[in-house]
Amino acid sequence: MDRQLISKLTKAVLCLQSDMERNIKHLNGGGCGIFALEVCKELKKYGIDSRLAILDGNIEDFNYYKKEVVNDILNNNYVDTWDARNTSFAHCCLILDDGLNFDGEQFDAIQDWQNGGYALVGEYLPMEMKIALKYGGWNELYDRRQNKLVKKLIKQNFKKYLA
């Protein structure tokens, strides 16, 4: 990415994080996945590629379990929750191709979570994140009725700074 785009994106994300802090309760208490997915989709509209980074304490063979559960769901097999299949996660944030990473609260989210004892264990594709959000067993501090406002704030901030 060129410097001008990075500057615009940084302003957009900082304002978005500020809006999230003011308007959304417990975003990183169960809402980080919806935030990351919606930001990923919105960035794509502006030609910016991002990846959904998954952080957790200790998941062995993360990609194997992820693929197994996604295949089960897509093939209409019964799945209780992702948590029961060892594929839920502690946190999700975004990584851009230039290494910039952030979540709904801060930049350098990966480093902060790694300092807290979590590891970057893998990535989800947007389709996989949709499945995780639908079937996962998540922290219930975050009220999912806030999802519409999260999406609205994301769209508003990126339109204001990236359009």
Amino acid identity for residue 52 in this structure: L
* pLDDT given for residue 58 in this prediction: 64
Distance CA 109, CA 125 (A): 19
pLDDT tens, residue order, the chain (163 aa):
788 999 999 999 999 999 999 999 999 888 999 999 999 999 999 999 999 998 887 666 677 667 777 777 777 665 555 555 555 678 999 999 888 899 999 998 888 888 888 888 888 889 888 887 877 766 778 999 999 999 999 999 999 999 8
* pLDDT given for residue 83 in this prediction: 55
Question: If you compute the radius of gyration of the chain from its CA atoms, what whole number of angstroms results?
Answer: 16
* pLDDT given for residue 85 in this prediction: 55
The continuous run of DSSP H or E covering 92 comes out as strand 91-96
* pLDDT given for residue 133 in this prediction: 82
Distance CA 14, CA 6 (A): 12
- pTM of the full structure: 0.88
CA distances from 158 to 2, 33, 86, 98, 124 (A): 17, 18, 34, 19, 22
Which residues 6+ apart lie within 8 Å of 104 measured at CB? 16, 17, 20, 24, 27, 28, 31, 32, 35
Pick the closest to residue 95 from 128, 50, 127, 34 (CA basis). 50
Q: Is 1 exposed, middle or buried (0-12, 13-18, 19+ CB in 10 A)?
A: middle
* pLDDT given for residue 70 in this prediction: 73
Give CA angle at 129 (1, 87), nearest 5°: 120
* pLDDT given for residue 159 in this prediction: 96
Pick the closest to residue 10 from 98, 134, 81 (CA basis). 98
